[in-house]
């Protein structure tokens, strides 16, 4: 809360002369001061005078104010600039960081509040590809961020264990002779997805009879036919265990796995549908191509109405994905009388319980009132998600709490697609990944590629390292490289995956951040003297910039908690690393007189603590040697 204390002192100064609620922002050029007030511009609009005249008058009235952090105030072109006393300000920053350590940057804005973050939600019939990993990394970073802000965070993963994608697998095992048994060392998500799902899908496209059989199997799964439902659940759980291994590998954790088949069994939709009927928000089509279907009336929505009403129940009585999502969304917002039962299904690598819905489960976990429900779903689902939000509003639920965190998809570069046997069209610039066509780069494959490259470089540099140590560090660098590459772009920008680029270890990358952390660790290893937080000499500009960046941390975290602009966090981590590396190159830490050494070691420790905290939010593993 160091920067905030500076803001509070400057605000108190302005209030003392009658300038209340003045907006204060970081100065674009620190040479003019640390923070700037725009109060003169706002006052000049009302009085119709020159802003500089107002600013000069304000500065004149403040000249006798004695601050602790503020050293002087100046007026420049209408801006009121506050310069700091760096002796006091650096002491405050360092004292705070070194005292609070892993708590530095945290706030209490989330205490007593609950947030749901739902992410991943990959069909349990294949291995995760890099497109899925973008979802996982975004969702997990949001969960980590809100944990850091003090919220009670519940992480959900929706498991679509019904539908045609599962019927494809059952058809392969029950009708087409594919063995369910895995060979030694073989993963269910890889074999079932790369072989059975892809090949069966291709055969169904060529055979109408197989398509009809698949439809029948899908219906039997949804009806919980004893034989097919039991077999389906076995397949799902095998694949899901392997999918979670991948998610855990990149650092993601989950609290609840919601199985769609269980959601159907609880008939949340029946209750929600009745309420929509009472509000006359749905109607049955009597003629046309949608005769016999129940539709949600979207005529009052300014945007959705342009594309027509939405089918919620088909003419055969089956519900659509949108209908099920509306019911599920209502449950998240506490809008249903029914709740799920769970069982403890597995423990994650951090020894946390992972619950799974089970109609015979013995665990009850009411969600209760939530501050936000954040659904991480790619941008292609924008319309369905807006329909869900609108339906929740019609139901009288707080739909403003239901947030679709949309993001663009990950596509493959032509170069990588050609390596996988794809024949591109003339002029084609990228290829969308497709599990059905088997055209995707698996997360584990990419991580293994990166890990092997890193391991080779480590062995060349550290001949005495054990294989276990090499493996551990290489894995952490691989995960850091992947997570950063998926979090760095704007979420509304498509990522065109180029494996050569993602394997690059220089520049604006995860390994660059990790190496910056290593540098700090190496300095601190060489001296364990007691830190000194008050500077014995005037600070160099590189020191001021590093401390300035550190002081912004809590403000940045709170801002992202409000805006959900994750790139702001990523940029902060990169700028903080860059500031430290400039400090590292220009400032001598160890070979100076004792008091100065103690102070500069305190600066390095403060960087290390702050950097640990931001990397932990981003899920980038810490390494102390590379």
The DSSP secondary-structure symbol of 442 reads B
Burial class (CB in 10 A: 0-12, 13-18, 19+), 496: middle
Q: 460 vs 457, 464, 467, 605, CA distance in Å?
A: 5, 10, 13, 30
Q: How many domains does one find in the chain?
A: 1
Tokens representing residue 586 in the block: 């220009």
Tokens representing residue 149 in the block: 């802000």
Q: What is the pLDDT of residue 133?
A: 96
Complete edge-to-edge strand list for the sheet that includes strand 430-432? 430-432, 410-413, 495-497
Average confidence (pLDDT) over 550-576: 97
Question: Does the pLDDT value for residue 276 go beyond 70?
Answer: yes
Q: What is the pLDDT of residues 292-330, one digit of tens each?
A: 999 999 999 999 999 999 999 999 888 899 999 999 999
d(CA 381, CA 157) in angstroms, rounded, equals: 17
Q: Which residue, among 157, 134, 138, has the nearest Cα to 146 in the 3D structure?
A: 138
Task: Report yes or no on 43 lying in a domain.
Answer: yes
Residues of 33-64 as b/e, b for ≥16 C-beta within 10 angstroms? bbbbbbbbbebbeeeeeebbebbbebbebbee
Q: What is the pLDDT of residues 218-239, one digit of tens each?
A: 989 988 889 999 999 999 999 9
Q: Band of the pLDDT at 412, cuts 50, 70, 90?
A: confident
The kind and range of the H/E element at 542 are helix 541-551
- List alpha helices for 333-427, DSSP H: 382-394, 414-419
Q: What is the pLDDT of residue 237?
A: 96
Q: Band of the pLDDT at 394, cuts 50, 70, 90?
A: very high
Q: What is the pLDDT of residue 503?
A: 64
Question: Does the pLDDT value for residue 443 go beyond 90?
Answer: yes
Q: What is the pLDDT of residue 66?
A: 82
Question: Does the pLDDT value for residue 385 go beyond 70?
Answer: yes
State how beta strands 402-407 and 372-378 pair: parallel
Q: What is the pLDDT of residues 15-29, one digit of tens each?
A: 999 998 888 999 989
Task: Report yes or no on 418 lying in a domain.
Answer: no
Task: Report yes or no on 18 lying in a domain.
Answer: yes
Q: Which residue, among 324, 268, 323, has the nearest Cα to 294 in the 3D structure?
A: 323
Q: What is the pLDDT of residue 227?
A: 93
Q: Which of 21-25, 295-299, 381-385, 495-499 has the lowest mean pLDDT?
A: 495-499
Q: What is the pLDDT of residue 312?
A: 97
Task: Report yes or no on 164 lying in a domain.
Answer: no
- For tokens 């960046």, what's the residue? 549
How many helices (H) and strands (E) are present in the chain, helices listed first? 23, 18
Q: Band of the pLDDT at 436, cuts 50, 70, 90?
A: low
Q: What is the pLDDT of residue 435?
A: 65
Q: What is the pLDDT of residue 504?
A: 66
Task: Report yes or no on 21 lying in a domain.
Answer: yes
Q: What is the pLDDT of residue 505?
A: 61
d(CA 72, CA 63) in angstroms, rounded, equals: 8
Task: Report yes or no on 208 lying in a domain.
Answer: no
* Torsion of Cα atoms, 23 then 29 then 32 then 35, to 10°: 30
Q: What is the pLDDT of residue 45?
A: 87
Greater confidence (472 vs 528) lies with: 472
Q: What is the pLDDT of residue 293?
A: 97
Q: Which of 14-28, 269-283, 413-427 has the lowest mean pLDDT?
A: 413-427
Q: Band of the pLDDT at 488, cuts 50, 70, 90?
A: very high
Residue 9 structural domain: 2-84
Q: What is the CATH classification number for the domain harbouring 78?
A: 3.30.1360.70
Cβ(120)–Cβ(248) below 8 Å: no
Mean pLDDT, the chain, as a whole number? 93
Question: Does the pLDDT value for residue 166 go beyond 70?
Answer: yes
Task: Report yes or no on 357 lying in a domain.
Answer: no
Supply the pTM of this predicted model: 0.94
Question: Does the pLDDT value for residue 420 go beyond 70?
Answer: no
- Total length of the chain: 626
Average confidence (pLDDT) over 65-83: 93
Average confidence (pLDDT) over 90-117: 96
Q: What is the pLDDT of residue 167?
A: 94
Q: Which of 144-148, 347-351, 374-378, 440-444 has the lowest mean pLDDT?
A: 440-444
Q: What is the pLDDT of residue 4?
A: 94
Task: Report yes or no on 13 lying in a domain.
Answer: yes
Question: Does the pLDDT value for residue 356 go beyond 70?
Answer: yes
d(CA 32, CA 516) in angstroms, rounded, equals: 29
- List alpha helices for 287-430, DSSP H: 321-332, 382-394, 414-419
Q: What is the pLDDT of residue 534?
A: 97
Question: Does the pLDDT value for residue 127 go beyond 90?
Answer: yes
Q: What is the pLDDT of residue 388?
A: 98
């Amino acid at each position: 809360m160091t920067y905030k204390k500076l803001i509070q002192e400057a605000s108190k100064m302005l209030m003392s002369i009658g300038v209340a609620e003045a907006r204060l922002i970081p100065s674009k050029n620190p040479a003019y001061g640390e923070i700037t007030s725009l109060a003169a511009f706002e006052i000049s609009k009302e009085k119709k005078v020159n802003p500089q005249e107002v600013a000069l008058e304000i500065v004149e009235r403040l000249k006798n104010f004695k601050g602790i952090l503020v050293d002087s105030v100046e007026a420049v072109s209408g801006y009121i600039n506050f310069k700091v006393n760096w002796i006091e300000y650096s002491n405050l920053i360092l004292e705070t960081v070194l005292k609070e350590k892993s708590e530095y940057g945290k706030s209490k804005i989330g205490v007593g509040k609950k947030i749901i973050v739902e992410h991943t939600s990959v069909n349990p019939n294949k291995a995760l590809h890099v497109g899925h990993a973008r979802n996982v990394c975004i969702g997990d970073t949001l969960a980590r961020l809100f944990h850091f802000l003090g919220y009670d965070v519940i992480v959900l993963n929706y498991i679509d264990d019904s539908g045609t994608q599962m019927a494809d697998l059952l058809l392969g095992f029950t009708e087409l002779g594919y063995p369910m048994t895995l060979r030694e060392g073989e993963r269910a998500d890889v074999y079932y997805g790369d072989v059975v799902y892809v090949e069966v899908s291709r055969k169904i496209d060529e055979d109408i009879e197989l398509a009809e059989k698949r439809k029948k199997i899908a219906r039997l799964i949804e009806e919980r036919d004893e034989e097919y439902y039991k077999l389906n659940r076995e397949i799902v759980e095998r694949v899901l265990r392997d999918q979670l291994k991948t998610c855990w590998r990149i650092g993601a954790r989950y609290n609840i796995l919601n199985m769609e088949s269980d959601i159907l069994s609880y008939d949340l939709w029946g209750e929600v549908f009745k309420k929509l009927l009472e509000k006359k928000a749905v109607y049955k089509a009597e003629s046309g191509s949608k005769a016999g279907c129940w539709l949600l009336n979207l005529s009052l929505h300014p945007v959705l109405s342009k594309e027509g009403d939405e089918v919620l129940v088909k003419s055969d009585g089956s519900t659509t994905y949108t209908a099920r999502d509306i019911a599920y969304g209502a449950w998240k917002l506490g809008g249903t009388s029914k709740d799920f039962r769970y069982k403890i299904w597995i423990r994650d690598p951090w020894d946390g319980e992972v619950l799974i819905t089970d109609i015979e489960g013995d665990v009850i976990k009411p969600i209760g009132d939530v501050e936000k429900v954040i659904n991480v779903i790619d941008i292609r689902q924008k319309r369905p998600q807006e329909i869900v939000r609108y339906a929740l509003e019609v139901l009288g639920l707080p739909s403003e709490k239901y947030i679709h965190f949309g993001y663009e998809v990950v596509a493959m570069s032509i170069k990588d697609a050609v390596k996988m046997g794809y024949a591109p069209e003339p002029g084609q610039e990228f290829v969308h990944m497709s599990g059905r066509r088997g055209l995707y780069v698996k997360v584990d494959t990419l991580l293994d590629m990166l890990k092997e490259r890193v391991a080779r470089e480590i062995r060349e540099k550290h001949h005495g390292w054990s294989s276990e140590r090499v493996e551990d560090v290489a894995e952490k660098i691989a995960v850091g490289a992947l997570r950063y590459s998926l979090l760095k772009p704007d979420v509304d920008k498509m990522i065109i995956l180029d494996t050569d680029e993602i394997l690059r270890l220089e520049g604006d990358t995860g390994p660059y951040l990790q190496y910056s952390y290593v540098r700090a660790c190496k300095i601190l290893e060489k001296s364990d003297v007691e830190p000194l937080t008050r500077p014995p000499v005037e600070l160099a500009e590189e020191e001021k910039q590093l401390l300035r960046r550190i002081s912004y941390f809590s403000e940045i975290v709170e801002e992202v908690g409000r805006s959900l602009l994750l790139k702001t966090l990523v940029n902060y981590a990169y700028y903080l690393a860059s500031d430290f590396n400039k400090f590292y190159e220009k400032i001598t830490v160890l070979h100076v007189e004792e008091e100065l050494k103690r102070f500069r070691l305190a600066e390095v420790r403060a960087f290390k603590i702050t950097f640990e905290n931001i990397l932990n939010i981003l899920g980038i593993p810490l390494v102390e040697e590379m």
